[in-house]
C-alpha cells in the first residue's frame, strides 16, 4: 500500500515500512533495533513537510519513545484503531479483559471508536508490550459536540472496568481527554498539530486561549 496524501492518515494509525536507513544517524540504538525488527510506528500530531507523515517509534519500556517522520511512499501497511475493536486476543492482560468488558458500551454510542496505546500496538503487531499494570487506551471519534454531562456519564460507565481506561475524544480540531472534558475546569487541554493549548470548547477553534 502506498499512501498518496497525508490526509488519509490519522493520529494513532499504525504504519509499517519505515526503513532503518531513514532514521537520523544520532537516533538511539534501541530505535534502530525495533525498526530493524519491522515493528510498526504510530502516527502522531505534528506538522511536517509535504510527502511526509509524523510518526513515533516505541521501544520495549515505557520511557522509550522517539519522534521522527517517514515518507508517505514508504508506507506498506496501515492499521487503524477501529480495526482492532473486534479482535479476540490470545493474552489475558487486564487491559484486554477490559476491552471485552466495554465493547458493548462503546458500540452502543454509535460513533467510530478504536483501541490505541499499548493494547492497540500488541493487538495489531503481535509484539508483547502489555503488562499487568497497563491501562487501556481508547479513542472515540466525535465530529459533533458532546456536552460535559454526557462525558461525565461515560466516565462513570467506564470506571467499572478491570483496569483504568483512558479515552480520548477525537474532535475535528484535535484530541481531548474524556476525563478532563467531564471535569470541572473551564478550560481543557486540546492536542493539535501545532501543539497542545487550553480551550473552552474542543470543537470550536475561535475559543482557543492565547
Catalytic residue among 73, 92, 137, 147: 137
Q: Is 137 a catalytic residue?
A: yes
The angle, 0 to 180 degrees and rounded to 10, between the axes of the packed helices 117-125 and 94-108 is 100
Query: Do 6 and 54 contact (CB within 8 A), yes or no?
Result: no
Residue keyed to cell 480495526: 83
Query: Do 94 and 118 contact (CB within 8 A), yes or no?
Result: no
Query: Do 163 and 192 contact (CB within 8 A), yes or no?
Result: no
Distances in whole angstroms, Cα of residue 135 to Cα of each of 75, 80, 84, 120: 28, 19, 16, 11
d(CA 76, CA 56): 16
Helix (H) or strand (E) holding 151: helix 148-158
Q: Is 90 a catalytic residue?
A: no
Q: State the DSSP code for 32.
A: H
Catalytic residue among 13, 73, 90, 135: 135
Longest distance between any two alpha carbons in the chain, whole Å: 49
Residues identified as active-site: 135, 137
Amino acid at each position: 500500500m502506498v499512501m498518496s496524501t497525508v490526509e488519509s492518515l490519522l493520529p494513532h494509525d499504525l504504519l509499517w515500512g519505515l526503513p532503518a536507513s531513514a532514521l537520523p544517524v544520532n537516533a538511539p540504538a534501541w530505535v534502530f533495533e525495533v525498526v530493524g525488527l519491522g515493528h510498526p510506528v504510530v502516527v502522531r500530531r505534528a506538522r511536517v513537510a509535504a510527502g511526509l507523515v509524523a510518526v513515533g517509534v516505541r521501544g520495549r519500556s515505557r520511557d522509550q519513545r522517539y519522534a521522527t517522520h517517514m515518507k508517505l511512499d514508504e508506507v506498506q501497511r496501515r492499521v487503524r484503531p477501529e480495526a482492532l475493536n473486534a479482535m479476540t486476543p490470545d493474552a489475558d492482560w487486564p487491559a484486554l479483559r477490559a476491552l471485552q468488558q466495554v465493547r458493548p458500551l462503546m458500540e452502543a454510542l454509535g460513533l467510530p471508536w478504536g483501541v490505541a496505546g499499548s493494547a492497540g500496538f500488541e493487538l495489531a503487531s503481535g509484539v508483547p508490550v502489555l503488562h499487568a499494570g497497563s491501562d487501556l487506551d481508547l479513542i472515540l471519534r466525535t465530529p459533533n459536540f458532546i456536552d460535559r454531562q454526557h462525558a461525565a456519564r461515560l466516565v462513570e460507565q467506564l470506571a467499572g472496568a478491570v483496569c483504568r481506561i483512558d479515552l480520548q475524544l477525537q474532535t475535528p480540531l484535535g484530541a481531548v481527554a474524556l476525563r478532563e472534558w467531564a471535569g470541572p475546569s473551564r478550560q481543557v487541554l486540546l492536542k493539535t498539530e501545532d501543539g497542545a493549548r487550553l480551550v473552552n470548547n474542543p470543537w470550536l477553534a475561535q475559543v482557543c486561549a492565547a
